[in-house]
Structure 1
Amino acid sequence: MPSSSESLVTIKNKKTSRNQLLWRWLRYLLVGAICNGAVWGLALSYLKKTPLTFTSDSVIHVAGGSPGVSVNLPSIGQANTSSGTSFGAHSDPRENYKLMMTSETVLETAAQSLDIPKSEFGQPNVELINNTTLLKIEIGAKSPEVAEDKVWALYQAFYKRLNVLRSQEQEERDRAVQQALEDTRVKLTEAQNKLSDYKLESGFNSSDQIKDLIGNIGNLQNQLIEETAKYRQVNDSLQQLSTTLDLSPQKAADALVLQTDRVFQQLLSEYTEATTLLTNLLPSRGPNYPDVIEARRERQAALKALLARGQELLGIPIEQLSLERLNLDNSNGSGVKRGDLFVQLVTMNAELEGLDGQIKTLKEQLNNLEAELNILTKKETIHDNLDRDLQIAQAVFASTLTKIDLSKGDPFASFPMIQIIEEPTLPEEPSAPKPKLVMAGAFIGSLFVSAGLTLLWWREPLLKISKQIVKKAIE
């Protein structure tokens, strides 16, 4: 049996254990109460001291790219403006707009419009709605009206900033293309001056001159063909008549000259009478008969005078045989006088000479026109080159000018147009603080505190059990 001293010790140890256990309970309860009280106190304090916040929101639509424009300039060129914006296939203009809405410049402008400091205006929440072209804007304030005014102020400040950026972009574009436009204008002026100077210097104005010249050459060629045909026809007739008369056209002309001279005709009549008389006397008288000698003398005197007069008229000596061939009093079997045939022969010869002169003139004109055509063709080549340079300069200038005008009509290329889909709302209930959410958080916090204290409570028994398990395993 244990002694009384041992019993006392055991009783004392049990009292000590009870006291330690009680103290431990009190300590854990106190810590648990303090921690839970702190959690709930902070939650209640937050609900009590945090001012109410009302959030107004709005939805904005970002328009897509504007349709492209194509302008055709007849005989000059074409100007195009591509559709879409300056953003790539994987870029979204809403990201830019989101950054702009939260930028210091836009927030400062919005705050100034409400006459409040920027710090009081707050930071808006901009959200991109997936698979759409929409932006959602949220701004909080102490009252519903102020929240709604902030959204309107933010939208107006953002819209104002967009207009400023669009104006600046347009000014930069205008300055950038102004030099290019000036260069094209200078080139156009130079091309115009070169063409004008060449026209003034060369006398060549257009291809119509060559067309007219070719037409004239064609007409002259047709005339030449016609006149050549006439010349051949008249020449054939002349040769046939000349062969028939056995007389050249010049001899026929001489005969006509002699026929028209009265003195020559008088002398010819005397010569003819003397010849007739001599012819009649010779058969009945001898050659030495005085009448025959006298007739022969008169005939010789008349012939001499006749030949002298013919040489005087024609300028060339003539013979007795020629006088017989130049006799115009004979007629052919058809009753046509020889003189008429002489006249016809002379007339045909004159016509032939006229046709020959006309043919020579036509050939000379053709040669001159063909030489002029060669010159004009060379001038046309130079003219066409200068005119082509002028057309190119006109096309470039007109295209550049048209593109500038078209770009002025599309201010939304880099900054697409925006539209309000849902106007700023007037909130009916505060968005913060949210009592249910705060209470739920405090409750979860209490659970974590209780769970932690429970784990601490069971720490010592668990350690003893683990030591015993280890000790048994060693033994």
Structure 2
Amino acid sequence: MNHTVAVMRKHWLPLLGLNAALVGATVFAATVLVGRTFTPTWTAEAKLNIPSSGGNLSADLGPLGNLNDSGLSFSKEVNPLQIQAAIIGSDKVIERVLEEDSERYLYPKERLNAYKNLFEVEPQPQSTTLTVTAQGSQPELALERANNIIDSYQQRLQELRQQDASTRENTKELETARQDLIEAQTQLAQFRQSTGIVDSDVQAQELINSLSELKTRRSLVKAQADASQTKARVTSSNLGISSQTAVDSLRLAGNTEYQQVRESLSQLEVELSNARGQFKEGSPQIKALLQRRAELRQQLQQTINTAVPNAGRGNIDYTLGTNGSDNRLNMIAELLAAETAAKQLQQESTEINSQIANRTQELNNISQNKARLAELQRKYEIAEGVYKGIIAQTNRAKIDNFNSYPNVQLIDGPALDPEPTDPNYKLIALGGLLASAFGSLGLLMFLESRDPLLSLKDLQLVKYPVLVSISQHQTNLLENIEYSWTLDSVAELEFQKLASAFSFLNLENRRVAISSAAPGEGKTTVTIGLALALVKLGFKVLVVDGDIHRATLSERLQISQQKAIESEDGQSNLATSSLATIVPGLDALAAPAIARDSICKYFVQGDFERQVDALQKTGNYDYVLVDSAPVNAASEMATISSVIRNFLFVVQPGRSGRYSVMSSLEQLRQYNAQIAGLVVNGIESRPTNYYYYGIKQPLLEAQT
């Protein structure tokens, strides 16, 4: 809301011009144009009655309603008054009226619809009467048109009665309706047979229930499969072998030849051990046993390679089948059983997924064909209703052709309204208001798209830190301190924050220029507030009015401008008497009173730099604050940036232009200026409890 008000305040002059023009145009349209173009219109009105008819015929037309000849049947589908109203407004009736109209030259055939708008037929609710109104530019013309349309309507009814009577012997329409009904019935039956859809809602619900059961079963099977796989992994980890290795181990344990060779090798090892106790190592007995052991080992390896071809690839347990290995055999059996169960459950889950996919496809087919089935069903019902209606219409015509087109009774009129219609001034005023609202919105969007206002979110795109944000209320307080030169306790808090952050900056020559993109964004106010806050911290400060064009700082501090005296070498010497002490520790140097065409010369020739250097040396100032001109409003910023390398840049969201701020920052960067930080001025005040999160959060994000 605040942003909208700021945009309106920024573009108030174009808005005022647009709305003034729209108000003038509305007043002109309501007075001059209406008086010139509006023609008074008279209205004649007549009331007709549609009498009830007798008979005993009735027919059910399906979706088209019910047809009863025991009186008029009023329903949403079939309303005799609507039929009569359609007859009155038909082209044939209106054309006959137009042929006898005295102003027929104004309405050629291509403008028949415009001529129809002069007539209105309105059925009265809960009755059998019709109200017919006719308009005319003269009272006599309105009455003439009302009489003519009633006469033409009566003639048209007589023609329709005659055509209705001719249908008694005309069976072509009935045959066409019968063929349409047969065709619709055949199409519906073929579609149901090809798609297998009889009742789409019931079949869809059955498929949905089946899908729900299958998904539940799949979840259970998947959980069981995961449990079996987990059990297999745990057993495999405990055994230290994989399932394939376990199978190979079992296969080896069940090989009789392997067990026999292994048993023989064990016995030979015992014999060799006993022989080594009786004979020397090189004795024939020992050599024979060693030879026999080598042969058994080779035979054992051949048996392993034959029984388990891939024995060398895994950690096969060669001890299975011996005493003490029954427990490992049981564990291997559990491992294989768990893996087999997991595979079976996974296969079952795959089959369930296939069933789910099939059920889903069937459900999608039902959804896709449901509209077509409904369309064919509706077509069949309509064809059946039309067929029944034609039969009923034929029978009704045989009984009494006046049932469809009764003799209409004129109840009242035509009567003329003595007062002509007046222009609708409320509609003109509403049009003016809508034009003002949408025109103002469009103008604001157009102007804002060309030069949008700076927002807090835009500061997140800037790489420079935000030192402090100052509320609008605190800025207003600061603008009224020239009488006491002390900060209000509320304003002092934010400027003390700024001064604290400022004191930690590494500034070249302890000088800083405070600038902004355009005038009126609060740079002078920030300069004064920062200077007073630095003095409060114990620093000695010199403020210099560097905005020679406007000299706002000199005016705010109520010090007279310096008068420049040009020396023989062409340099400008300024009197030091213009240096004023505002408060102890704070001195101010007013802007020199020089001509506008000499301002740039003043900076280029170095007069400004020499004066600041001299005052800073003699005054022993801790900081020199220069209230410089706005970047986009002065041509000497390049020279100032060469003297004052450090800049504080002041922005005011809701007042500063986005492009102007970005252009100014880019311009300072090109001047090789060091932008120490940003000061956000004029923030809307919020309650204390919500200020930090409501307003400062975007600023902290921008600073980050």
How does the TM-score come out when normalised to structure 1? 0.46
More relative contact order, 1 or 2 (CA 8 Å, 6+ apart): 1
Taking structure 2 as the reference length, the TM-score comes to 0.33
Of Structure 1 and Structure 2, the greater helix share is in: 1
* Greater per-residue strand proportion: 2
Higher-Rg member (1/2): 1
